[in-house]
Amino acid sequence: MQEKITREMGDLKKEFEEYAKTQVDITKLHLVGELSRFHSGFLFKSAILYLLIFVLLFLSVAAAIFIGEILNWYVYGFAIMGGFYILVTLLVWLLRKPLFEQPAIKRFMQLMYPNSINHEE
């Protein structure tokens, strides 16, 4: 009787170890999948952002020259564009939580707890 209990406990221990190993492997695979998806998305968004910065730069210079032509002094055109970007920067800084922090927290929670029901709140 004692041998049977010892053997069954040994079998139970082996099954539990296999289960734990399988769970660790599943977690590793999930993490690798999420990290690779994050990395590829980050690279894509970085490339798009890099290109958009050049577009914005050239459009800003064109707008500054256009405004300078209208006001007959290019310095005014560039000063007005500089003031515009100061206002945009201030607006982004004031709205940083709803624009950046909250979406980042939501995405992180979705990444860490993909099966959670309440991750949309």
Poorest-confidence range of 34-43, 52-61, 80-89? 34-43
pLDDT, tens digit, 9 for 90 and up, residues 95-120: 999 998 888 888 878 877 777 655 44
**Domains of the chain, residue spans:** 2-116
| pLDDT of 121 | 46
Residue 17 has pLDDT above 90, yes or no: yes
Calculate mean pLDDT across residues 52-79.
Answer: 97
Q: Are 69 and 77 within 8 A, CB to CB? A: yes
Model confidence band, residue 85 (pLDDT cutoffs 50, 70, 90): very high
Please state, rounded to an integer, the average pLDDT across all residues of the chain: 90
